[in-house]
Copies of this chain bind each other. A is one copy, B any other.
Amino acid sequence: MPASTELHEAVALRLREIGHRYTAQRRALVEALAAAAGRPRSTSELLEGAGVPQSSAYRNLAALEQAGVVRRVVTDEEFARYELAEELTGHHHHLICSSCGRVEDVTVPPSLERDVDRTLDRIARRAGFAVVEHRLDLIGTCGGCAARYGVR
């Protein structure tokens, strides 16, 4: 799988740049994240998915985040989720089911992204903020929950 090879090389590079190593555990974590593409994974899913002890998993996810390989995704849940960084997968947003916690990637039309970016940048500047990124999430009810509990 060439795409995967590319991914691992990119990851290895980023880690090396900050003086870290691309070990088997980190590879397993990246693999688990890549396998779940389009669906940010909770820490505990990654723990078991990658077969890594928890102290190492937390440490390695932090290292990967520092290297810009991985991004922590915040939701309303009491635990964190992780996904591959946008530099590796492309810019996207999230559909978040407020009933079951399911999180799924979506992309919006470039024209909207452009409008949003332009406007937000202007607004932020006015407030003395230098915008680095925007986060646009959709909170609602996923198909499964709508079927299970009836449409609200």
Interface residues of A, Cβ cutoff 8 Å to B: 72, 74-76, 95, 97-98, 104, 106, 108-109, 112, 115-116, 119-120, 123-124, 127-143, 146, 151
Taking the full assembly, how many copies of this chain does it contain? 2
Closest to A105 in B: B127
A and B contact pairs by CB, cutoff 8 A, 18 listed: A74-B74, A97-B129, A104-B129, A108-B119, A112-B119, A116-B116, A116-B136, A120-B136, A123-B138, A128-B143, A129-B141, A130-B151, A133-B139, A133-B140, A134-B138, A135-B135, A135-B138, A136-B137
In the bound complex, do residue A129 and residue B142 qualify as a contact, i.e. CB atoms below 8 Å apart?
A: yes
Cα distance A74–B81 in the bound complex, in angstroms: 13
Partner of A142, one of B74, B106, B128, B138: B128
Prevailing SS type, chain A contact patch: mixed
* A140 CB, min distance to chain B CBs, angstroms: 4
In the bound complex, do residue B135 and residue A130 qualify as a contact, i.e. CB atoms below 8 Å apart?
A: no
Closest to A119 in B: B112
Beyond A74-B75, A136-B136, whether A119 also contacts B128 by CB under 8 A is no
* A41 CB, min distance to chain B CBs, angstroms: 18
Partner of A124, one of B74, B95, B123, B127: B95
Partner of A95, one of B76, B112, B127, B142: B127
